[in-house]
């Protein structure tokens, strides 16, 4: 095993940030975020960043590190959902030679690599309860134990966590430890969704337009006022990340239709029933179809947020377990997460990672 190369790939460069006026915009909520960052950056306390997917939690975490006294130390990011649960413990805490089959040499984990720097745990709600317990020990006394080791190691590391879930709900569901929540939530930063900061959209559009024109050596024109108005009214389920991808696509293809055509289906998604304009319209029937489609989307989203646990989903929705099973069958939803979903709801669609 080439430990040197594997170690260097885990300590990641910070990369360039967009200008602060682009990141924080003009809205009061984002100015509150800016003010909070300036106050917490120098304090060696855990930080919890929460907000919907695509709101920029990764950028804010990197800004916290870059403004801290540990800016010259390592920046180590762990994307918790991207690493299988069986491997995540060894990735985080490392292992000793012979700890398990295939452990031909000792390997430091990402916690150890972040010594005197920042450890960023993205989507921390995905950690299982066993790993949450080990992380709690790290936060309490700065110690951890490699797999197969007999003694604890001590590290100095600043922990920043991010989540797009409501951890209070995860605690109620029994999937997240309340004591860990209070440890990581010393200071919290909330990033509002893009639909709540629509006045920032024109500046974001112009920034992404200039950035990707330069990157791809293109000359895409500024967006029309009509399309800009549409963008400001759109609900942005993918937030800033979705907007960035739309502008990137526009720069490459050079046609506003690639943006407007992508937005139209989502704007009319709840009302996609065929409406006969040459005869009598049954309002009752159309309403029933729209309600059924909305119910299907809500059930699917709650199933996914509860890791496909149907009992938790029924409790969250306030219906009986039998009623949920009936609704799942009636809506044509898969019985478990492993089956392919023919039509994923817009609300949970994600675009390229930060």
b/e per residue, 269-289, with b = 16+ CB within 10 A? Answer: eeeeeeeeeeeeeeeeeeeeb
Looking at residue 126, what DSSP letter applies?
G
What is the per-residue DSSP string for 222-277?
PPPHHHHHHHHHS--TTHHHHHHHHHHHHHHH--THHHHHHHHHHHTGGG-S---T
pLDDT of amino acid 332: 72
pLDDT tens sequence across 210-234: 999 999 999 999 999 999 999 999 9
pLDDT tens sequence across 299-318: 888 887 777 888 888 888 88
At residue 240, does pLDDT exceed 60? Answer: yes
- CATH C-level class of 3-192: alpha beta
For 176, half-sphere exposure in the C-beta direction (CA atoms, 13 angstrom radius) is 22
pLDDT of amino acid 56: 96
b/e per residue, 162-175, with b = 16+ CB within 10 A? Answer: bbbbebeebeebeb
pLDDT of amino acid 136: 95
Task: Please provide residue 217's backbone torsions phi and psi, each rounded to the nearest 5 degrees.
Answer: 55, 50
Q: Indicate the pLDDT class of residue 339, thresholds 50, 70 and 90.
A: very low
Reported pTM = 0.72
Residue 213, SS3 per DSSP? helix
At residue 338, does pLDDT exceed 80? Answer: no
Residue 211, SS3 per DSSP? helix
**3-192 and 195-267: same fold?**
no
Q: Where exactly are the structural domains of the chain?
A: 3-192, 195-267, 283-348
Secondary element (H or E) of residue 321? helix 321-330
Task: Please provide residue 75's backbone torsions phi and psi, each rounded to the nearest 5 degrees.
Answer: -115, 115
Residue 301, SS3 per DSSP? helix
Cα separation, 52 vs 57, whole angstroms: 9
Q: Which CATH number fits domain 283-348: 2.40.40.20, 1.10.10.60, 3.10.20.30, 1.10.132.20?
A: 1.10.10.60
At residue 266, does pLDDT exceed 60? Answer: no
pLDDT tens sequence across 165-193: 999 989 998 999 999 999 999 999 999 99
CATH topology of domain 195-267: Helicase, Ruva Protein; domain 3 (1.10.8)
């Amino acid at each position: 095993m080439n430990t040197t190369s594997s170690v260097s790939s885990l300590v990641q460069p910070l990369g360039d940030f967009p200008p602060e006026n682009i990141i924080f915009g003009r809205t009061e909520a984002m100015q509150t975020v800016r003010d909070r960052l300036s106050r917490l950056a120098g304090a060696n306390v855990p930080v919890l960043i929460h907000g919907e997917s695509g709101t920029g939690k990764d950028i804010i975490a990197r800004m916290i590190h870059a403004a801290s006294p540990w800016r010259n130390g390592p920046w180590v990011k762990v994307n918790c959902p991207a690493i299988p649960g069986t491997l995540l413990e060894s990735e985080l805490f490392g292992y000793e030679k012979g700890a398990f089959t295939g452990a031909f040499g000792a390997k430091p984990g990402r916690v150890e690599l972040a010594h005197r720097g920042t450890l960023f745990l993205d989507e921390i709600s995905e950690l299982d309860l066993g790993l949450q317990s080990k992380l709690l020990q790290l936060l309490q006394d700065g110690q951890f134990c490699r797999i197969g080791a007999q003694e604890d190691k001590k590290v100095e590391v600043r922990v920043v966590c991010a989540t797009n879930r409501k951890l209070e709900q995860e605690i109620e569901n029994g999937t997240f430890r309340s004591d860990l929540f209070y440890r990581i939530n010393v200071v919290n930063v909330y990033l509002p969704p893009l639909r709540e900061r629509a006045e920032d959209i024109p500046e974001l559009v112009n920034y992404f337009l200039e950035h990707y024109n330069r990157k791809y050596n293109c000359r895409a024109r500024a967006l029309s006022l009509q399309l800009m108005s549409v963008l400001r009214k759109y609900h942005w389920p993918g937030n800033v990340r979705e907007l960035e991808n739309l502008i990137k696509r526009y720069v490459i293809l050079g046609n506003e239709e690639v943006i407007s055509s992508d937005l139209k289906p989502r704007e009319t998604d709840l009302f996609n029933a065929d409406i006969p304009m040459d005869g009598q319209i049954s309002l009752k029937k159309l309403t029933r179809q729209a309600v059924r489609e909305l119910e299907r989307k809500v059930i699917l989203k709650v199933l996914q947020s509860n890791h496909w646990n149907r009992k938790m989903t029924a409790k969250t929705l306030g219906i009986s377990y039998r009623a949920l099973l009936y609704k799942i069958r009636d809506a044509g939803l898969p019985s478990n997460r492993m089956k392919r979903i023919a039509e994923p709801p817009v609300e949970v669609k994600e675009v390229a990672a930060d």
